[in-house]
Chains A and B, each alone.
Chain A
Amino acid sequence: MSVTVKKTIPVVIVAVVAFIVMMDYFLLTPPVDVAGKSWTSTTVTNLQNWGVILTAFALGFGAVNLFYFHSKHISRRTPGQWMYSLWLLIVIVIFTGIGVFTGPTSDQYSWLYNASYFALSATVYSSLGFYMTSGLYRALRFKNVESGIFLVVGFIVLARNAPAFAVYFPVLRVWGSFISDVLTTSAQRGIMIGGALGAISLGIRTMTGRETGFLGKLTEEERGGGIE
């Protein structure tokens, strides 16, 4: 594949689209239509619509991938997998059939969604409590200085949130609030500032064609030559 097709065209598309979106956000351009929308605003709306269309196509691609992958398991009777694959395909067909024939806002479809996915989703979410307990059990062990600090801080915050402890030891509320409001918040803000700068830097690299990770591993020539 030539460098033009593989790198130049995608990078130019990314740069132009990013530039228009940034212009719409930062600059005030004069309105061009009766609705008072500027050309940047209209272009951004169009780009977003294209994104929606592309996503819909990609979803079709995903569905084909799902069917192909699971059909293979069913036909091979892969131990420990094929029955789940079969069940998945049956459920997809039922959902699609009811969705197509009665509409995605119909009572039948809503009932199916709420009675199956919604309930299962809530179950998986609630299982998080067990995973957190199990993770905490492993984390709160004294292994070195850092884990020791973590153990003490973790215990204070845990005890502060347990009503019985907090009633008998009111000082835990003060310590707990200091840990969450001062120590944790300041650390979170540090991470947030670093993250925001990192995202800007990545954006600039992507717009200028220096970040090519999403285009795959490029050769030195495709990257535009290395500078020693």
Chain B
Amino acid sequence: MLIIIWIFILGGMELAKKKLPPFRKLTGLDALPEMVGRAAEMNKPVHFTTGLGSLTESVAPQLVAGLAVLAHVAELCANYGVKLIYSVYQAQVMPIATELIKEAYVKAGKPEEFIAEESVRYLSGEQFAYASAVQGIAERERPAANIMIGPFYAESMLFAETFSRIGSIQLAGTARGYQIPFFAVICDYLLIGEEIYAAGAYLSRDPLQAGTIMGQDFGKALALILMILGVLITALGSSFIVDLLGM
């Protein structure tokens, strides 16, 4: 199955070399300039968190997806002259995030506006200590916008509610199914599951990245076909699909 998905994705990349595939609109990502612009008008910071992401666990792809969005948000903040606060949970992410944000300011021609310890803040490696610290930042510094992309656990509701109470405009995205409903009811914009993985490609508009998204969609179509076939064939008393997938 993994090999088939590899073929789909590499095929998608080849197709995209010839013609850039159209993107489905992701309102949450399109709203990023509006969110940062609002912060600029209100002269308040933008808060960003990648949740309890770690680079060495199964949630690492969600963290990498979050960092891709962080790079884009940092660029917007640097251009608009808005203070960005990135709350760090895993210390190992700090050097990467610092470099990402610093580079955005250098590219915007404002390296002197980047103050590392103000923008990239290590809070705690413990879940609820981190959650309390983020809530503290929300209450004290009142960010105009809050962006949460990555793996979230019980703290999702604490963050979303606190930032909602102080009037922040919020974008949330996670692939953790249990937290999506919490974000859905509170946040202004939401990226559901796979949409966070497509964020990097969506924001960069790089044809080859877009090709991998196309390949991913072929994979989804295959999964859908297998599901429908599985239901029908199993209902007819055969275990062919189940045996084929080794389930």
Contacts and interface: CB of A to CB of B under 8 A. Distances in A.
Interface of A: 26, 48, 51, 54-55, 58-59, 61-63, 65-66, 68-69, 72, 80-81, 84, 117, 120-121, 124-125, 127-128, 131-132, 134-136, 138-139, 150, 188, 191-195, 197-206, 210-214, 216-217, 223, 226-228
A201 B9 contact: yes
Given A197-B219, A201-B213, A121 B158 contact: no
A46 B121 CA distance: 30
B17 interface: yes
Interface in B122-177: 122, 125-129, 131-132, 136, 140, 154, 157-158, 160-162, 164, 175, 177
Nearest to B5: A200
Interface stretch (B21-29, B37-45, B202-210, B237-245): B202-210
19 contacts: A62-B94, A125-B154, A128-B154, A135-B164, A191-B193, A191-B194, A194-B220, A197-B223, A198-B61, A198-B193, A201-B213, A202-B65, A202-B197, A211-B68, A211-B200, A211-B201, A213-B68, A217-B103, A226-B206
Given A69-B117, A198-B193, A138 B128 contact: no
Given A213-B68, A226-B207, A204 B95 contact: no
A200 B175 CA distance: 13
B162 to A, nearest CB: 8
Given A139-B185, A216-B100, A62 B9 contact: no
Contacts of B93: 58
B158 A127 contact: yes
A136 B129 CA distance: 25
A-B pairs with lowest CB-CB distance, top 6: A213-B68, A198-B194, A198-B197, A62-B91, A139-B185, A62-B122
Given A54-B92, A124-B132, A216-B99, A202 B64 contact: yes
Contact of B122 (A66, A80, A132, A138): A66
A62 B121 CA distance: 8
Given A81-B140, A131-B161, A216-B104, A199 B220 contact: no
Given A192-B177, A197-B194, A217-B72, A65 B103 contact: no
B216 interface: yes
B96 interface: yes
Q: What is the size category of the interface that chain B forms with chain A?
A: 35 or more
Contact of B100 (A55, A80, A214): A214
Interface of B: 2, 5-6, 9-10, 13, 16-17, 20, 55-56, 61-62, 64-65, 67-69, 71-72, 75, 88, 90-96, 99-100, 103-104, 107, 116-118, 120-122, 125-129, 131-132, 136, 140, 154, 157-158, 160-162, 164, 175, 177, 180, 182, 185-186, 192-198, 200-201, 203-204, 206-209, 212-213, 215-216, 219-220, 223
B32 to A, nearest CB: 14
A20 B162 CA distance: 43
A84 B64 contact: no
A191 B194 CA distance: 7
Main secondary structure of the interface of A (DSSP, over half): helix
A197 B5 contact: yes
A109 to B, nearest CB: 15
A67 to B, nearest CB: 10
A131 B193 CA distance: 23
Contacts of A84: 136
Given A58-B93, A191-B192, A191-B193, 16 more contacts: A61-B95, A84-B136, A121-B126, A125-B128, A127-B158, A135-B160, A138-B186, A191-B177, A194-B194, A195-B194, A198-B195, A202-B64, A210-B13, A216-B103, A217-B71, A227-B16
Nearest to B160: A135
A48 B57 CA distance: 11
Given A59-B125, A72-B117, A201 B140 contact: no
B4 to A, nearest CB: 11
A150 B6 CA distance: 38
A213 B192 contact: no
A26 B185 CA distance: 40
A36 to B, nearest CB: 25
Given A204-B9, A213-B67, A214-B64, A124 B118 contact: no
Nearest to A121: B128
A205 B200 CA distance: 10
